[in-house]
Structure 1
Amino acid sequence: MAPQGLGILAGGGELGALMRQRDWAATPLGDPSTWPQSLRSALSTCLNSRAVSAIYWGPEFYLLYNEAYRPFLGSRHPWALGRTMQEVWPTLWQSLTTAARQVHETGEGVVAEDQRLLMERDGGLDETFWTYSFAPIRDETGKVAGIFLTALSTTERNLAERRQAFRLSLDERLRDLAAPAPILAEMSRSLGLHLGVGEVAYADVEPDGAFATITQAWTDDGAPRSAALVQNGCHRLDDYGPALVAELRRGRIVAIPDVRQDPRTCAAETLAALDRISVAALLNVPLMKAGQMVAILAVHHATPRAWTRGEIALVGEVVARSWDAVERVRAEAALRVSEERLQLALGASGMVGLFDWHIPEDLLYPDERFARVFGVDAARAANGVPHAEFVQAMHPDDRLRVQAAIGRAVETGEPYDVEYRVLQPDGGSRWLHVRGRCLRNAAGEPMRFPGTAVDIHARKLAEERQALLSREVDHRAKNALAVVQAALRLTRAPDLPSYVKAITGRVAALARAQTMLANEAWAGADLRTMLAAEMDAFMIRGPEGAPRATLDGPAVALPAGAAQPLAIVAHELATNAMKHGALSTAAGRVTVRWTRDDEPLGTLRLRWAETGGPPILSEPARRGFGSRVLAGVVHGQLGGSLLLTWHETGLVCDISLPLARIAGIPASDLAM
């Protein structure tokens, strides 16, 4: 039976049942029969909400919460029920108390978007992001007695975007580096700047496992620290804590937020060694090969610093990726040396395809492999084959160039060194690199022309692929820049902060469309996927648990040239709805429906309809910046039609786009 005063708390799942069974009289909140009606009503709403919801009651901010809130407490549940905010979230207390007190003092709600909060739970620290609102709960006298929290976790999206941006940036910087030292230097610099730490140092562990030599170090002020304190940057590992080093030798990542408080580093001699290199917090990642520690990546900070689980995982990943890059360039260097030695050996031994042209008889004597490349039977090759037959087997585009090189070699005696293609029976061709020299008799007359041939077909194909890739990358980069230029030209704002916020949102929309196009090899983008990506930040569920936005329409493959401009359109409409339209209120909804003609690239008709927002009494007297952007993109770039209708129930936007026409125009032209 529910305690007196909690009979109204129906539902709420397991948490509701737990609250009804709890002995509240033994808590600071007291017997439920003494609770004000405002608290009981708010608690009933909280328990039956599907959104992450909680109540902070009284000036002490006693916590009550629902099922959706419970997972974020970890092992603190059910202990947290009825505890103060400061007890439950000691690391968040300073971040949240200002906003909470503001609600109590002013009686006005507070809304935060994508706020970064460090949450300590289950023995670790997590970096989280939240969009939340604090709404006042008034008692029977009208005084603010508590706070109603509604929250949406945006952690996964924020961390994923940030990690992906960092990975892409680091991969881009490492891609063109061809030696281990620059790779490790760039890895240290990028990681240090991303984490905002004082030092990142890479050290090779000596074979005896007792010493490590720093080979690369980055510091936030450019002043050498760890590497400069000892000769040649060599450190005795156990000086920095035998227990710490023992964990590293077992392949474990060690993260210490405060070396003075950790038993592995708090010994006086260890602290003295760490003080010499200005280390108050550290994050060390060992690199293991065949069970042995061969290197250490050390992240240092001069003041105590909490390390989140996400940061620890990222550092470990970066070390692995950087080492893979180091291994790659080392393997490539070894391969180059091996290939050079092989070519020298083959050239010296004459085992790469040989020929001997007897000039007076005009007969060429090839070895078996050289003859096979030119389609000459081995039996005929032994008796000599007319030189003209080999010339005729060359690719027509190369023939005159090769004959000119042969003529110069015979006439002047200069070395013969030429690359050309040989026609093959399957209709293709094969690249050869041929070298030779004309030999003369005592009278100076040309007599013989021996030489060697190397098959370079694979290299030539690789060069062609590389050239094609370079042209494609250049083309895509120009297209992307052109689209960004268009966004810059279309954006207007009354001041610099507004301009920065507007253009940042639009460029982010372009980036998301760019990613979708890249994933589809630039063949196009799915309309629903694109719209869902742009609406993701606005897909907040309403009080009844229904989605705030609905997407309805058939599968439509957008041409590559339409994806980024249309992403800008969706971004502008969603942003306007959040600021002024349906998504600015709890009851507001957005419905996006579209149809397409029967043809695969027919006319796309899309309707954006808002309901439940602030009533619209009349059409706006003047068009805002967003309206001009919509018109510029739909009319100017995509050649479509746009109709904005302001109903009392909300904005309706009708868009018609000629997909067939757009598909025939390069993306760069559409962007201009």
Structure 2
Amino acid sequence: MARFIREYPWSESPLGPIETWTLSLRTTVDLMLAAEAQIVLFCGPEFVALYNDAYAPTIGDKHPRALGRPAEENWSELWTDLEPLLRGVLETGETFSARDRPFYIERSGLVGETVYFDISYSAVRAQDGTVEAVLCIVSETTARVLAAAKVRESEQRFRALVNASSDVVYRMSPDWQEMHELDGRGFLSSAQGPAIRWRDEYLFPEDQASIQAAIERAIMERGVFELEHRVRRADGSAGWTTSRAIPIVDDIGSILEWFGMAADITEKRASEQQIQLLMREVNHRVKNQYAVILSMIRETSKRATDPRAFEHQIRERIMALSRSHDLLVLNDWRGAGMADLVREHLRPFGHEERISPCGPDVTLRLNAVQNIGMALHELGTNATKYGALAGDAGTVRMDWRVAPAPEGSDFELVWEEHFSEPAAAADAKPHKGFGSVVLQRVVPTSLSGSASMERLPGLVRWTLSAPLANVVVARGAELDGDEQIAGLT
């Protein structure tokens, strides 16, 4: 650039020959040419340009034609932006500076681009104190600005992804002794600053040793920390989380910090435990059903004289057990309503218009569902074969109620058959089959109660009485796992 300036025909430039330049301008040009910083000098009211070798690449193909010419000729695309800055310094003598100042410039033909500079524009004064030029020291920062923009964009995308997730996000120190940050998402208490005693706040004492062992393994291996464990939720209750954290390392592999996410799996764990409980209950119930079926087969075979009748009785009794089972499955093994049980077990016999069930809305325990269901099947079978439903005019009335007892309350169920034909009443004689065993021994014994059977002219009455707590689920209460299993066994 020194050679360009020496050889330039300055007599054709608004600045005139070099010999006419002021001492201060020539001194400034000498300093500019020797400098390694990117410097351009805009001289006089027309802002004639002079610049050094370091500055030349920043203006692209404007070099070298911009030398010695008014700035407006070669910086026309940004003149409305650049002129106020230069004129402000020229007229006031005040320095203007900025960091990452954007400029739109065409430095490759007519292809424009926005570039960024750190700039410092200061006045060059003549001997009389007037401002004769503007000294512009610039440093292009386009690469830095664009890189920072990409980082911000990446961070924004990441933050959007994190915000779209319901997972807890956390950051830990390299040794996990200090929690840098935690966004609890309402599941855990959030921590915006460093927390030293985070274990006491988020973990239960009895769980800390196993969790610390998993942390130490991850630190030693510089690998992923991943664990499913209990946590203390924001409301103080116990919850479950599956937590996963990865180490952020530097160029030599040292851990700088840990970044992790944790999902709330409290409901999932509860569902899994409920499934396990139900599977245990089903297992107990199936075993119990096998025992009942074997008992049915044994007791029915003792009294069977006709193979076909034996097959029919066994099939019907097993179907009755199945109906009770279906009701329990439908209600998630939480028992079954008494009215539903009556309806399901008496439907196969028909004659709904001649059967009158009446009683309060109660939910039966599992053991009561099976046993009362068996009783209803035997009562319906007897009534259809040789009882009130065998003829055309008989009726059945069934009442269940809660009756006061010396200690607490009893559940009472009364089955009454009324006959109008003498023949039907005569047929209602005692029958010592498996049904009698169920009605007079199996059902009352299973419910820790008692039962009685009355047979009078025109009337058959079976009464069951048992402690209320053995039969009915209290309102607002649910059977716990042990209670249900005990009921099945």
TM-score by length of 2: 0.52
| Contact 2:402-2:468 at 8 Å conserved across structures | no
| Contact 2:411-2:465 at 8 Å conserved across structures | yes
Partner of 1:40: none
Secondary structure of 1:597's partner?
Answer: strand
Q: Which amino acid aligns with 2:375?
A: V
> Aligned partners of 1:354, 1:579: CA distance in 2, in Å?
73
For the pair 1:590 / 2:396, whether they are aligned, the reply is yes
Secondary structure of 1:629's partner?
Answer: helix
**Which of 533, 549, 561 is residue 355 of structure 2 equivalent to?**
549
For the pair 1:395 / 2:203, whether they are aligned, the reply is yes
> Aligned partners of 1:465, 1:436: CA distance in 2, in Å?
29
> Aligned partners of 1:537, 1:639: CA distance in 2, in Å?
29
Q: Which amino acid aligns with 2:173?
A: W
* Superposed displacement of residue 489, structure 1: 0.7
**Which of 495, 503, 506 is residue 314 of structure 2 equivalent to?**
503
Q: Which amino acid aligns with 1:485?
A: A
Partner of 2:151: none
| Contact 1:436-1:449 at 8 Å conserved across structures | no
For the pair 1:433 / 2:249, whether they are aligned, the reply is no
| Contact 2:324-2:370 at 8 Å conserved across structures | yes
| Contact 1:641-1:655 at 8 Å conserved across structures | yes
> Aligned partners of 1:553, 1:575: CA distance in 2, in Å?
22
Partner of 1:82: none
> Aligned partners of 1:670, 1:406: CA distance in 2, in Å?
44
**Cα displacement string for residues 43-98 of structure 1 (whole angstroms, at most 9, x for unaligned residues):** xxxxxxxxxxxxxxxxxxxxxxxxxxxxxxxxxxxxxxxxxxxxxxxxxxxxxxxx
Pick closer, same or farther for the CA change 1:635–1:430 going to 2, 3 Å. Answer: closer
Q: Which amino acid aligns with 1:355?
A: R
> Aligned partners of 2:231, 2:351: CA distance in 1, in Å?
65
> Aligned partners of 1:524, 1:637: CA distance in 2, in Å?
16
> Aligned partners of 2:169, 2:245: CA distance in 1, in Å?
11
TM-score by length of 1: 0.39
> Aligned partners of 2:256, 2:316: CA distance in 1, in Å?
69
**Which of 656, 659, 662 is residue 465 of structure 2 equivalent to?**
656
Partner of 1:602: 410
Structure possessing the higher radius of gyration over alpha carbons: 2
Pick closer, same or farther for the CA change 1:376–1:573 going to 2, 3 Å. Answer: closer
Secondary structure of 2:171's partner?
Answer: strand
**Cα displacement string for residues 245-304 of structure 1 (whole angstroms, at most 9, x for unaligned residues):** xxxxxxxxxxxxxxxxxxxxxxxxxxxxxxxxxxxxxxxxxxxxxxxxxxxxxxxxxxxx
* Superposed displacement of residue 573, structure 1: 1.2
**Which of 326, 334, 357 is residue 173 of structure 2 equivalent to?**
357
**Which of 264, 277, 284 is residue 457 of structure 1 equivalent to?**
264
* Matched-pair identity in %: 20
> Aligned partners of 2:400, 2:293: CA distance in 1, in Å?
25
* Superposed displacement of residue 490, structure 1: 3.4
Pick closer, same or farther for the CA change 1:404–1:515 going to 2, 3 Å. Answer: same
| Contact 1:418-1:435 at 8 Å conserved across structures | no
For the pair 1:571 / 2:377, whether they are aligned, the reply is yes
> Aligned partners of 1:425, 1:356: CA distance in 2, in Å?
19
**Cα displacement string for residues 288-347 of structure 1 (whole angstroms, at most 9, x for unaligned residues):** xxxxxxxxxxxxxxxxxxxxxxxxxxxxxxxxxxxxxxxxxxxxxxxxxxxxxx9xx98x
For the pair 1:612 / 2:420, whether they are aligned, the reply is yes
> Aligned partners of 1:514, 1:602: CA distance in 2, in Å?
25
Q: Which amino acid aligns with 1:560?
A: L
Partner of 1:559: 365
Pick closer, same or farther for the CA change 1:357–1:622 going to 2, 3 Å. Answer: closer
Pick closer, same or farther for the CA change 1:501–1:414 going to 2, 3 Å. Answer: same
Q: Which amino acid aligns with 2:320?
A: A
Q: Which amino acid aligns with 1:454?
A: M
| Contact 1:538-1:549 at 8 Å conserved across structures | no
Q: Which amino acid aligns with 1:582?
A: A
For the pair 1:407 / 2:407, whether they are aligned, the reply is no
**Cα displacement string for residues 200-234 of structure 1 (whole angstroms, at most 9, x for unaligned residues):** xxxxxxxxxxxxxxxxxxxxxxxxxxxxxxxxxxx
Q: Which amino acid aligns with 1:499?
A: F
**What is the aligned-residue RMSD (CA, Å)?**
4.1
Pick closer, same or farther for the CA change 1:368–1:666 going to 2, 3 Å. Answer: closer
> Aligned partners of 2:172, 2:487: CA distance in 1, in Å?
59
| Contact 1:414-1:437 at 8 Å conserved across structures | yes
Pick closer, same or farther for the CA change 1:367–1:561 going to 2, 3 Å. Answer: same
Pick closer, same or farther for the CA change 1:451–1:537 going to 2, 3 Å. Answer: same
Partner of 1:626: 435
Gaps of 5+ in 1: 1-341, 542-546
Partner of 1:448: 255
Q: Which amino acid aligns with 2:294?
A: L
| Contact 1:603-1:658 at 8 Å conserved across structures | yes
> Aligned partners of 2:485, 2:182: CA distance in 1, in Å?
53
Of 425-434 and 578-587, more deviation after overlay is shown by 425-434
For the pair 1:532 / 2:343, whether they are aligned, the reply is yes
Pick closer, same or farther for the CA change 1:660–1:447 going to 2, 3 Å. Answer: same
* Superposed displacement of residue 553, structure 1: 4.2
Partner of 1:513: 324
> Aligned partners of 1:538, 1:372: CA distance in 2, in Å?
56
**Cα displacement string for residues 473-510 of structure 1 (whole angstroms, at most 9, x for unaligned residues):** 44145325514532431341325533332232223223
| Contact 1:483-1:671 at 8 Å conserved across structures | no
Pick closer, same or farther for the CA change 1:486–1:594 going to 2, 3 Å. Answer: same
Q: Which amino acid aligns with 1:482?
A: N
> Aligned partners of 1:653, 1:402: CA distance in 2, in Å?
62
